[in-house]
């Protein structure tokens, strides 16, 4: 059973890894858009509201879709002052409880963010600025998408944290690797 849990966790981690690598390309797009905006402003003394709005439309996927990838790759802030001093059994329980709590919080955030996006879609929300971007719901959809990916990553962390609790003889990557 524990091998199955670890295989499922690996599949979930792999999905997050692939999505995270694709999400990284949004950073390049953001740099290009910002560079174009600066060049247009300073060389040609012109600008575009849509291009300026596109900057934060690109920032949303970087932040929301990249969040789970950052956690997978240990790119998040950790406070290990006390944790590092705990016995292995206590660390395993903390890892499991924290993963379960993250799953619960992410499920709540996912549930709350979907109506927010649907409202934007239903009213055809667009930029209030003349020349701004339409389809603002696409930008807002990054919230539930990001929370869904965080849920996947948190489930993988929960499975990894569950394995050593079920079978203490199995040593798994620390949950600080995942959540």
Range of the domain at 29: 2-177
- Does residue 177 register a pLDDT over 50? no
- Give pLDDT tens digits for 90-116: 888 888 998 999 999 999 999 999 999
- Give pLDDT tens digits for 67-90: 999 988 877 766 678 888 889 888
With a pLDDT cut of 90, the percent of the chain lying above it is 64
Are the beta carbons of 9 and 156 closer than 8 angstroms? yes
From the number of C-beta atoms within 10 Å of its C-beta (0-12, 13-18, 19+), residue 105 rates as: middle
Q: Is residue 106 helix, strand or coil?
A: helix
Residue 84: per-residue pLDDT: 82
User: What average pLDDT score do residues 124-138 get?
Assistant: 90
Residue 173: per-residue pLDDT: 63
The three-point CA angle 19-134-125 to 5° equals: 100
Residue 176 — very low, low, confident or very high, per pLDDT cuts 50/70/90?
A: very low
pTM, whole model, 2 decimals? 0.85
User: What average pLDDT score do residues 114-142 get?
Assistant: 93
Residues in the chain: 179
From the number of C-beta atoms within 10 Å of its C-beta (0-12, 13-18, 19+), residue 162 rates as: buried
| Paired tokens of 61 | 């996927």
Residue 178: per-residue pLDDT: 39
User: What average pLDDT score do residues 117-134 get?
Assistant: 92
Task: Tell me how far the alpha carbon of residue 23 is from its chain's centroid.
Answer: 10
Q: What is the CA radius of gyration of the chain?
A: 20
* Overall domain count for the chain: 1
- Give pLDDT tens digits for 2-49: 889 999 999 999 999 999 999 999 999 999 999 999 999 999 999 889
- Give pLDDT tens digits for 153-171: 999 999 999 998 888 877 7
Residue 179: per-residue pLDDT: 39
Sign of the dihedral through C-alpha 8, 13, 14, 16: positive
- Distance, in Å, from the CA atom of 135 to the CA atom of 62, rounded to the nearest integer, reads 18
């Amino acid at each position: 059973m524990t091998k199955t849990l670890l295989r499922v966790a690996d599949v979930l981690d792999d999905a997050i890894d692939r999505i995270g690598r694709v999400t990284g390309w949004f950073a390049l797009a953001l740099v290009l858009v910002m560079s174009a905006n600066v060049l247009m402003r300073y060389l040609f003394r012109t600008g575009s509201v849509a291009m300026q709005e596109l900057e934060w439309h690109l920032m949303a996927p970087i932040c929301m879709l990249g969040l789970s990838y950052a956690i997978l790759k240990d790119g998040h802030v950790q406070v290990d002052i006390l944790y590092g001093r705990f016995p292995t059994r206590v660390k395993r329980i903390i890892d499991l409880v924290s993963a379960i709590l993250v799953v619960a919080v992410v499920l709540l955030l996912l549930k709350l963010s979907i109506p927010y996006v649907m409202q934007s879609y239903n009213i055809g929300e667009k930029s209030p600025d003349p020349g701004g971007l339409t389809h603002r719901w696409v930008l807002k959809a990054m919230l539930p998408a990001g929370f869904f990916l965080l849920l996947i990553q948190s489930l993988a962390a929960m499975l990894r944290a569950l394995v050593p609790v079920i079978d203490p003889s199995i040593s798994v990557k620390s949950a600080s690797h995942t959540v």
